[in-house]
Amino acid sequence: MRNKIVAGVLTFLSAAVIVTGCGGTNGGTKGENNSGTNGASPSASAEATAKPEKSGVVNVFTARHYDIDFAMFDQFEKETGITVNEIKGTAEELVERMKREGESSEADLFITVDGGVLNYAKESGVLQPIESETLFSNVPEKFRDKDNNWVALASRARVIVYAKDRVKPEQLSTYEALAEPQWKGKVVARSSTNMYNQSLIASFIELNGEAKTEEWAKGIVANFARDPEGGDRDQAKALAAGIADVAIMNTYYVGQMLHSKDAEEVKVAENIGVFFPNQETTGTHLNISGIGLAAHAKNKENALKLAEYMTSKEGQEMLTNGSFEFPVNPAAELPQLLKEWGQFKTQDIQYAQLGVNNKAATELLNRSGWK
């Protein structure tokens, strides 16, 4: 089994303990991967030899916390024999730890959400250029850092979600239109501290400038049905409860709710619709999850193998059928739900600009009164 390690705990451990916990092959759970067959029956021995040999480890510092990621790591282990050790934490915690530990860092891959955060990791010096023709073949140039310090793993659209019983799609058009008086008391969204909202605002600054974006943000605040609270799922639930008519949400939450084990979440998702705004203007806001190669990766070859696997056609189909994000590999087939949503125009901006404009976006949100 893979080792699952929380970054906050490991902060207080020495490097020697980390190495022992992550890469040791004697005893513990790692022992079950050994190829020895003492005492085994002939059939058991044959089964053991059919499995891939142990081929070392790859240490993944990840800020993603989706079950499908863990399932992919397990599948990768089965196919390659490479043990995947997950070190989990917030992106900021993981980047700071990689900076602090420098050359002694055990990080091989860094995985996180948001183009701005990936740019922050690059600017912090904790990543190195990737050299992999397979990876570049899997991921189009528009989904890669210009210096190849990171590549996208998946993309997610931040859209307008509406209550089907109270709003018709033809009443919707653009993000900008949500600031108009007709939506007063009918809009909900997450708080201004939420990274997804900050990146949305950062994209508007890039496309429309600060003045127009601030005017829009003030209009949205004036139209809020309640003060921002909760996550994207809570915005969907506010629509179902009649608190608001429209919400700003990421599409993958709708997909996850529709396939939830919680019957109430399914019911909520069945009663909301997804609308891709700005199709006649600047396009729908698209953000990414991404993978970076750690600056001091000690298992570089294994790290690249995992990145190549996760961005392969098969890996992308497994990932997006579990997370309901959009694949970045054009060869991957979309989940049925995403096919039903259809194709849509997206913003034409560099994902790094989400990070470049983050400070301005945060200050703008504060000035606008977006709590």
Residues 219 and 260 in one domain: yes
Residues 34 and 161 in one domain: no
Residues 117 and 176 in one domain: no
Q: Give me the number of domains the chain comprises.
A: 2
* Pairing between β-strand 109-113 and β-strand 326-327 as defined by DSSP bridges: unpaired
CA distance 26 to 69: 26
Q: Which range of residues forms the domain containing residue 203?
A: 156-285+340-368
Residues 325 and 345 in one domain: no
Residues 264 and 212 in one domain: yes
> Any alpha helices (H) in the chain, and if so which ranges?
7-10, 15-23, 42-50, 67-80, 91-101, 115-123, 133-138, 195-208, 210-223, 232-240, 251-258, 263-270, 300-311, 313-323, 336-341, 353-356, 358-368
Residues 55 and 92 in one domain: yes
| pTM for the full predicted model | 0.84
Answer yes or no: is 351 a known binding residue. no
Residues 202 and 345 in one domain: yes
Answer yes or no: is 162 a known binding residue. no
Tell me the pLDDT band of 158, cut-offs 50, 70 and 90.
Answer: very high
Evaluate if residue 162 carries a pLDDT over 90: yes
Answer yes or no: is 65 a known binding residue. yes
Residues 213 and 167 in one domain: yes
Residues 238 and 120 in one domain: no
User: How does pLDDT run across 68-119, given as a tens digit for each residue?
Assistant: 999 999 999 999 999 999 999 999 999 999 999 999 999 999 999 999 999 9
Residues 71 and 136 in one domain: yes
Tell me the pLDDT band of 54, cut-offs 50, 70 and 90.
Answer: low
Residue 142: give its domain's CATH number: 3.40.190.10
User: How does pLDDT run across 5-47, given as a tens digit for each residue?
Assistant: 544 434 333 333 333 333 333 333 333 333 333 333 333 333 3
Residues 149 and 244 in one domain: no
Residues 31 and 109 in one domain: yes
